[in-house]
Structures are given as structure tokens and as C-alpha cells.
């Protein structure tokens, strides 16, 4: 039997290729948008991909099902609750799919979404026993799927479905059954996933409190609130996945832009995402830019700040970094990438175009500011838990989600230093405040990590 797991760093997505080299057939479960990896693996193992399965209607990334089907001729299978608007076949509880020695049984495990399924996997070359579960976004390593993404009006039903799926639907499987989820560390579809790619039902039943015989009342209380901010872009991704994402081949050309082209685009309402490190952005950037430093998980932050239906220009240090950003962003449905400035902003500066800056204060500089300007305001944009673990004296706590949503009140005449854990989020928040008309904004470089280190060194 062929069984191969794939991971998308940053988004934390897991997908799977299962099949039988002896028979030459295989399937892919929960493919990501860039499908070359599956085609290469299939070729290397001498199998043809005939079936494609999505365990649910994904909200955090664009499915690669349509892309893979177009390139292989394989049939896409989804639960009828997805209400898919593209060519597909429905799959329901009890359906079985055979690929030589590999077999998948469909289990309806609603809760994360009202259309979620899991797969029980058998390797008939070794045993008739089910050896593994592909749990989609039902059960993760150390966590379970959040039930709130389908909307507040469905939350009560989703929490009940989630409990039933975990405690009833999975009850027939023994402790030694391996668990392969659709997400790992970095995903926003849970709250505390482990970086491990696989677990067992027995280990989770013993060590995952949410699966350790928790009474429903307590489960309900925990799973009804306290979730991470749901990026606005999730609704856009769901809509694209339901109707069928456009092929990557149809994406607009992503070209190097000159200064005049950038100016023209800005006049049309195009937004700039500046992917450079905080210090480079802080030194000089184009007015209205939002600073989202390029990391594997940066698309999660982009999804919170900018809708995927927005025309975007990327600013990067090099063309290669711009292309890398575009590759990552397209995974989350950002297809309106009209071009990039790949020299940082050197060409912009060379033509004496106006530039903004977001001064980066060191801990020592901030201490000096406090001494000279006692009314200087510090805004801490970390989470509630981070804030409670320790913060700068007299700081104001405004979680970054509220900054992004505009749910705050600050005096535009005040000098404001933004603080997070490392300086990454503070530059996002600082760039948002600048764009909103706050002219006296600073960012603490190194964040609370640097501040606490400076306190110890005093």
C-alpha cells in the first residue's frame, strides 16, 4: 500500500496520497492548490490518481481538487452538504472506495463544518483491520476542530455534532488506530495543535482533555467561545471553494512594475503589501502600505487584514521574494496580484516619491522616551493571555484584532509606541494606524522579548 503525507508549512495543512502500486491506482485527500507534488509522487510510485476527496469545505485555504482533476481526469468527491458548484460526485456515510490493497470508508463526522467527513483506512495487504483514520478537521494532534467557522447561528448544533462525532462516531475504533489530521501546528482551525504529524486514538483519549471522557456540559462551555479571530478572508475562501477555484493557469500575470505603474494602480484603489522585515519597512515605505513580513504563516495575517478580492501589489527585497510571496498568497485565494516592486523601494526613492516611516525604538530608546515624555502611550497588541503574562507598566491593551477591525479609540495627537512579542505584529498594527491617519506611531523592535531581556540586564 502507498501512503504518503504532505504538509504546507505556515498554514499547517496536511494532505495524503493513498493507493496501490501493484494495481496502479491512487487517490488524494485534501489536496492543496499547488498540485505538482502529488503528480510527482504518483509518477515516482507508478500510480494514476483516479479519485480526489475533500474532507470538508475548507475555510483557510484554496482546495487543489479542481486543479488536480483538470490535470489528471480524476473524479472529485465531496459530501452533499458542501453544495459544490463544480463537477463532482457525492460521498456519504458508509461509502467505500478501493484502490488495490488500499480501502477508504467514509464516516460522516460533522462538527467542524456541517459537511465534514473522516476516512477509515485499511491496508488489505497486511490485515482486514482498519489501521488509520484520516480525521480531516475533526481531531488533530492535541486538539480538535473549532466549530464556529460555519457561523454563530449554527454554533449550538455544531458543538453537539462535534461531541457526537468524537465520542460516538469514533468509539468503534480501538486505541491503537493511527490518526492523521488535515491540519497541524500553524493552522487557525484549532487552538493548540501539536507540531507532530500523527498520533493515535488511544494517546488522544488519554492525553487530550477534550477527548478524555469530558462531560458534554463542560465540552459545550469550552467549545462555545474563546476562539482565535476568524479572518475576514475565510468567507471569501469558502465561497471560492464551494463554486470551484479558478485554475492557476488563468491567474493574471505577476510582473515587475515600474514606479508609474505602481502610482497608477494606487490611484485605482490597489493596496500594497510590504513583505520586508520590520526594520526595513520602518526606515521607509510607500504610504498606505501594510507591513506583513514574509514567513510561511504570513498569509494568515494577510487574511485578517486584506480581503482576497482586493487588487494587491507586493513590495519585496528581490523578485524571488516577491514570487515566493505570490506563491504563498495564492494558496489562500489571492489571485488579484497585479505585480511587484522587487527592489524594496529603491526605484520609488530614486524618483523622489514621497515615503513614510515607522520609527523602530529599542528598549533603551523607549526608556529614554518615558523619561523625557511621561505621557508617551504604549499600546500592547498581544493576546489576552500574553498580556496577562506580563506587560509594560501603564501600557494600554488593544489586541491586534481590534486594531485591524478599527475597534479602538486613540488620540491622533499622541505619540504611540506599539508593542507585541517580537515586533512582527506591532509593525502590522503600526502600519494600519499610519494608514488610518495616526502620524506619530512607533514600534518596539524585538517586542516584549527584547524589553524583558533589557530589564534583566539592568
Classify residue 90: in a domain, yes or no. yes
The answer for residues whose C-beta is within 8 angstroms of residue 168's C-beta and 6 or more apart is none
Among 34, 71, 26, CA closest to 53: 26
CATH code for the domain in which residue 337 is found: 3.40.250.10
Q: Mean pLDDT across the stretch 20-49?
A: 97
The reply to whether 335 and 381 lie within a common domain is: no
The reply to whether 340 and 372 lie within a common domain is: no
Beta strands in 164-311 (DSSP E): 178-181, 199-200, 271-274, 290-291
Classify residue 325: in a domain, yes or no. yes
Taking only the tens place, the pLDDT of each residue in 78-107 is: 999 999 999 999 999 999 999 999 999 999
Among 361, 387, 230, CA closest to 300: 230
CATH code for the domain in which residue 43 is found: 3.60.15.10
Backbone angles phi, psi at 125, to 5 degrees: -75, -15
Classify residue 227: in a domain, yes or no. no
The reply to whether 202 and 81 lie within a common domain is: yes
The answer for residues whose C-beta is within 8 angstroms of residue 229's C-beta and 6 or more apart is 304, 401, 404
Classify residue 165: in a domain, yes or no. yes
Question: Using alpha carbons only, what angle is made at residue 343 by residues 337 and 344, rounded to the nearest 5 degrees?
Answer: 80
Asked if residue 43 has pLDDT above 70, the reply is yes
More confident residue, 288 or 153: 288
The reply to whether 99 and 148 lie within a common domain is: yes
| CA gap 369, 441 in Å, rounded | 13
DSSP 227: P
Domain span at 364: 360-456
**Residue 187: pLDDT band by 50, 70, 90 thresholds?**
low
Classify residue 241: in a domain, yes or no. no
Q: Mean pLDDT across the stretch 188-215?
A: 87
Res 227: pLDDT: 73
Backbone angles phi, psi at 105, to 5 degrees: -110, 130
| CA gap 114, 156 in Å, rounded | 12
3-state secondary structure of 97: strand
Classify residue 436: in a domain, yes or no. yes
Asked if residue 162 has pLDDT above 70, the reply is yes
The reply to whether 342 and 365 lie within a common domain is: no
Chosen domain end from 350, 381, 406: 350
The reply to whether 201 and 294 lie within a common domain is: no
The answer to whether residues 182 and 136 touch, using CB atoms and an 8 Å cutoff, is yes
With left for phi above 0 and alpha for psi between -120 and 50, is residue 368 left, alpha or beta?
alpha
Domain count, the chain: 3
The reply to whether 86 and 189 lie within a common domain is: yes
The reply to whether 305 and 210 lie within a common domain is: no
Of 42-51, 179-188, 293-302, the poorest mean pLDDT is in 179-188
The answer to whether residues 224 and 155 touch, using CB atoms and an 8 Å cutoff, is yes
**Residue 150: pLDDT band by 50, 70, 90 thresholds?**
confident
Relative to beta strand 396-397, strand 337-341 is unpaired
**Residue 67: pLDDT band by 50, 70, 90 thresholds?**
very high
Res 228: pLDDT: 72
The reply to whether 339 and 375 lie within a common domain is: no
Asked if residue 186 has pLDDT above 70, the reply is no
The reply to whether 88 and 203 lie within a common domain is: yes
The reply to whether 272 and 332 lie within a common domain is: yes
The answer for residues whose C-beta is within 8 angstroms of residue 421's C-beta and 6 or more apart is 382, 386, 447, 448, 449
Res 184: pLDDT: 82
Distances (CA, A) of 284 to 77, 274, 355, 403, 432: 49, 11, 6, 22, 15
Classify residue 163: in a domain, yes or no. yes
Q: Mean pLDDT across the stretch 250-270?
A: 93
Q: Mean pLDDT across the stretch 321-350?
A: 94
More confident residue, 130 or 342: 130
The reply to whether 63 and 172 lie within a common domain is: yes
Q: Mean pLDDT across the stretch 145-160?
A: 86
Of 173-182, 183-192, 306-315, the poorest mean pLDDT is in 183-192
| pTM (two decimals) | 0.90
The answer to whether residues 26 and 11 touch, using CB atoms and an 8 Å cutoff, is no
Classify residue 195: in a domain, yes or no. yes
b/e sequence 258-292, b meaning 16+ C-beta within 10 Å: ebeebeebbeeebbbbbbbebebbbebbbeebbbb
Which three three-digit cell numbers place residue 323? 514570487
Amino acid at each position: 500500500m502507498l501512503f504518503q503525507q504532505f504538509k504546507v508549512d505556515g498554514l499547517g495543512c496536511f494532505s495524503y496520497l493513498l493507493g496501490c502500486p501493484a494495481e496502479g491506482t491512487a487517490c488524494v485527500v485534501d489536496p492543496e492548490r499547488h498540485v505538482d507534488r502529488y503528480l510527482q509522487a504518483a509518477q515516482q510510485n507508478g500510480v494514476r490518481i483516479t479519485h480526489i476527496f475533500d474532507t470538508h469545505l475548507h475555510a483557510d485555504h484554496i482546495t487543489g481538487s479542481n486543479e488536480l482533476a483538470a490535470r489528471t481526469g480524476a473524479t472529485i468527491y465531496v459530501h452533499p452538504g458542501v453544495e459544490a458548484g463544480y463537477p463532482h460526485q457525492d460521498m456519504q456515510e458508509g461509502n467505500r472506495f478501493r484502490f488495490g490493497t488500499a480501502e477508504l470508508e467514509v464516516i460522516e463526522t460533522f462538527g467542524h463544518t456541517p459537511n465534514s467527513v473522516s476516512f477509515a483506512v485499511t491496508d488489505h495487504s497486511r490485515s482486514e483491520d482498519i489501521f488509520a483514520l484520516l480525521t480531516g478537521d475533526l481531531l488533530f494532534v492535541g486538539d480538535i476542530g473549532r466549530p464556529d467557522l460555519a457561523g454563530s447561528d449554527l454554533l449550538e448544533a455544531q458543538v453537539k455534532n462535534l461531541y457526537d462525532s468524537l465520542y460516538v462516531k469514533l468509539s468503534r475504533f480501538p486505541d491503537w488506530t493511527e490518526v492523521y489530521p488535515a491540519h497541524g501546528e500553524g493552522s487557525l482551525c484549532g487552538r493548540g495543535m501539536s507540531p507532530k504529524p500523527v498520533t493515535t486514538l488511544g494517546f488522544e483519549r488519554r492525553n487530550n482533555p477534550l477527548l478524555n471522557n469530558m462531560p458534554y456540559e463542560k465540552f459545550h462551555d469550552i467549545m462555545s467561545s474563546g476562539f482565535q479571530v476568524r479572518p475576514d478572508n475565510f468567507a471569501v475562501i469558502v465561497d471560492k471553494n464551494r463554486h470551484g477555484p479558478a485554475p492557476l493557469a488563468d491567474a493574471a500575470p505577476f510582473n515587475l512594475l515600474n514606479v508609474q505603474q505602481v502610482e497608477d494602480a494606487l490611484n485605482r484603489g490597489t493596496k500594497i503589501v510590504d513583505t520586508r522585515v520590520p526594520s526595513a519597512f520602518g526606515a521607509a515605505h510607500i504610504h498606505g502600505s501594510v507591513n506583513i513580513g514574509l514567513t510561511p504563516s504570513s498569509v494568515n495575517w494577510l487574511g485578517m487584514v486584506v480581503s482576497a478580492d482586493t487588487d494587491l501589489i507586493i513590495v519585496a527585497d528581490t523578485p524571488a521574494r516577491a514570487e515566493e510571496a505570490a506563491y504563498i498568497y495564492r494558496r489562500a485565494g489571492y489571485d488579484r496580484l497585479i505585480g511587484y516592486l522587487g527592489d524594496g523601494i529603491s526605484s520609488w526613492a530614486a524618483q523622489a516619491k514621497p515615503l513614510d516611516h515607522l520609527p523602530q525604538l529599542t528598549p533603551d530608546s523607549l526608556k529614554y522616551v518615558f523619561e523625557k515624555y511621561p505621557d508617551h502611550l504604549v499600546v500592547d497588541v498581544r493576546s489576552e493571555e500574553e498580556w496577562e503574562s506580563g506587560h509594560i507598566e501603564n501600557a494600554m491593551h488593544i489586541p491586534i484584532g481590534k486594531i485591524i477591525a478599527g475597534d479602538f479609540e486613540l488620540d491622533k495627537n499622541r505619540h504611540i509606541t506599539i508593542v507585541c512579542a517580537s515586533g512582527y505584529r506591532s509593525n502590522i498594527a503600526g502600519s494600519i494606524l499610519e494608514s488610518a491617519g495616526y502620524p506619530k506611531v512607533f514600534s518596539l523592535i524585538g517586542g516584549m522579548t527584547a524589553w524583558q531581556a533589557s530589564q534583566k540586564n539592568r
